Structure formats: structure tokens, C-alpha cells
Amino acid sequence: MKRIGMLTSGGDCQALNAAMRGVVKCLSCSEEAVEIYGFLDGYKGLIYGNFRMLTGNDFAGILTKGGTILGSSRTPFKLMREPDENGLDKVEAMKQNYYKLQLDCLVILGGNGTHKTANLLREEGLNVITLPKTIDNDLWGTDMTFGFQSAVDIATDCIDCIHTTASSHGRIFIVEVMGHKVGWLTLNAGMAGGADIILIPEIPYDINKIIDAINAREARGSRFTIMAVAEGAISKEDAKLSKKEYKEKLKNYPYPSVSYEIADEIQKRSGKEVRVTVPGHTQRGGSPCPYDRVFATRLGAEAGKLILQGEYGFMVGYKNREIVRVPLEEVAGKLKMVSPDASIVQEAKMVGISFGD
């Protein structure tokens, strides 16, 4: 008999349900009897002992369903070691609940913050297996996270829609894509949608270079310019500020987000009309795309295999087109960022895309 605890933590994404279903289907195909405890709303459920016992039926028909049947929440890693408002030691509480239910292991689905806590629980002696979810694709140790491809599809659709209206009006259009720290989603959706300018956090921009790129397009006879801008895009000047100085600047920031600042700058300097579109959380919503359904199922199956083999302390990831096991301590606390020298960036530049650098 295996007793498995499962939780989904952090911002949700597509294919969380598909991944959990993959784990449970794999376990159900074995001889081993299994009990599944689903902790609700991420680590909160594990801390406060809020769970539901689940059966195979709970995982039927959810392959194509967005969101997560367990609910999710953000419980910041930096607060894990701080007692809650009633003085409860959260890490101790999670351990107690794990032991009380006599769990063999926890299956944790999440992104960067989630992996830091998962690794902490491993260090505390719990058996943990993780699955890499996030639309940002910024987890270390895996070439791909599930949710990413679905989000690329949605952000690309948005840019495609903007393209048709852009061709009717001689304007500059900005589509703001999710990603505060990394630009994988913006880069991929931008290229897929034929954006002319792509701004990502890893490559600080110079507003003059952006205007040069717009003018160059106009000089070639183009009536419009489409920009894919990451939420976390940053100017060269701001990138020079210390963390503290930058935070200070944001306190009095007059714009809803960086795209509006860029729009304002372009308008002021060039007199050109600029429109901003923010697809926001739609990028994390709806059904997983077929790629993510297959990918999450494969990762889930491998997690099931690890459980049956009694091998713990791994994230199931994807490297060089193979499903792999990555030790959790190698994953936790690291971000997989876009290198400005990456070949995809160079190829984008080769086809004339400006990064404003």
C-alpha cells in the first residue's frame, strides 16, 4: 500500500490536472494499492491539515480541464520559517500532517517558489517528488515546464488578433505578455506572432533604439509596428539601479505597468499613436493545448514510476527530448533565464526583430 499526498502550489497553469491524472493513472495500472490525499490550496492545505481523500474517479475526465481540482495559493518560501499569526510553526505543521497520515511521499506540482519549499521538506526528511509547472518556463533543470506551450498559444493568438487591426490602422501596438523575471513566454509568443520588437527582462532596452526600429520600419513602408513586451521588461537606466533604488522608483510609478510607460515614452518622443493590450491571466487559463496534455501525462507517469520504485527527492523534468529525474537540490533556488547570447535570440535578430538593445 502506498499513501500519497498531492498538492498544487503557486500561480496555476494549464495541465496541472493532466499531470496529476498521469500520476494516478500510472499508479492505478500497478498491482500496488494506493491512497491519495489531496491537500487543498497548495502548501496551506498541508500546513493546516486541509485535505480530501481522492479516488481514481476524481481524476477521470480532467485531462482537458484547466486550473487545478485541488486549488492553489502562494505561500512564499521566505515566510515558511516564520510562525503564522497564531504562532504555528509551518514547517513543523507540514511534517506533523505528513507523519500523522503516514504518507509514503508528497507529489508537489509547482514553479520556482514551490520548489524551494519542496526542497526544504526533503531536507527535513520527507519523501518528495515534484513536477515542473509554470507558464514562465523558468525552472532550472528542465528544458520545458507544462503550461508554457498553452500560454504561448494564447499570447500568440492575442498578437495575431492585434495584427489584423494593426494592419488597418497605422499605429504602434504593444502586447504585454506575462513574465516578471524571465522572457521565454514573450520571446516565443513574440516570434510566433511576428512581433517586430520584443522586450524581455534579460535584455534591458533603450527607448531610442525602439524608436529607431519603428522609424526604420516606417522608412521601409510599414504602416504599423507590433511590440511583444514582457511584464518585467526593464530599461537600461533602470537595470543599473540597485534593487532598493528600483523598489523606491516603483513606489511613485505613475503607470499600471511597464508597457504603458513605454507607450507614453514613444508617444512623447515620436508623436505616434500607441495602444496597449494586456491579455494578463487569460494566458494561464482555459484548456491545456495538446502538447501540454501529452507532456504533463508523460511527466505524471514518470512520477508514478518513481513512487512505485520508492525513489524520492527528484523533480521529473525534460532534457534533450527525454523525460529525466533531476535531484531537487539542483533545481531549488535557480532560475532558467534567456541568455542574450542564446541562439534563439540571435536567430530572432537575424530576421530583423529588435530587442531594443
Instruction: Supply the residues annotated as catalytic.
Output: 136
- Lay out the site mask for ligand F6P across 105-124 (x = CB under 6 A, - = otherwise): ------x-------------
CA atoms within 13 A on the CB side of 6: 31
Least distance (Å) between residue 138 CB and ligand F6P: 9
Residue 201 interacting with ligand F6P (CB under 6 A):
no
Beta strands at 34-39 and 51-54: parallel, antiparallel or unpaired: antiparallel
Residue 336 interacting with ligand F6P (CB under 6 A):
no
Which string of b and e fits 212-235 if b means at least 16 CB within 10 Å?
ebbeebeeeeeebbbbbbbbbbbb
Least distance (Å) between residue 97 CB and ligand F6P: 25
Stretch that binds ligand F6P, among 29-37, 132-140, 153-161, 263-271 (CB under 6 A): 132-140
Question: Hey, is 53 helix, strand or coil?
Answer: strand
Instruction: Please identify, using beta-carbon distances, which residue of 178 and 345 lies nearer to ligand F6P.
Output: 178
Instruction: Please identify, using beta-carbon distances, which residue of 54 and 199 lies nearer to ligand F6P.
Output: 199
CA atoms within 13 A on the CB side of 67: 4
Among 134, 137, 150, 354, binds ligand F6P (CB under 6 A): 134
Least distance (Å) between residue 253 CB and ligand F6P: 16
Tell me the three cell numbers of residue 298: 508523460
Least distance (Å) between residue 201 CB and ligand F6P: 11
For the segment 7-26, give every residue that binds ligand F6P (CB under 6 A).
10-11
Q: How far is the C-alpha of 233 from the C-alpha of 182, rounded, in Å?
A: 9
DSSP of 280-295, one letter per residue? Answer: GGGGG-SPPPHHHHHH
- Lay out the site mask for ligand F6P across 54-93 (x = CB under 6 A, - = otherwise): --------------------x-------------------
Residue 180 interacting with ligand F6P (CB under 6 A):
yes
| CA gyration radius, the chain | 22
Beta bridge pairs of residue 327: 314
Beta strands at 274-277 and 314-319: parallel, antiparallel or unpaired: unpaired
For the segment 268-297, give every residue that binds ligand F6P (CB under 6 A).
284
State the residues that interact with ligand F6P by CB under 6 A: 10-11, 74, 111, 134-136, 178-180, 231, 284
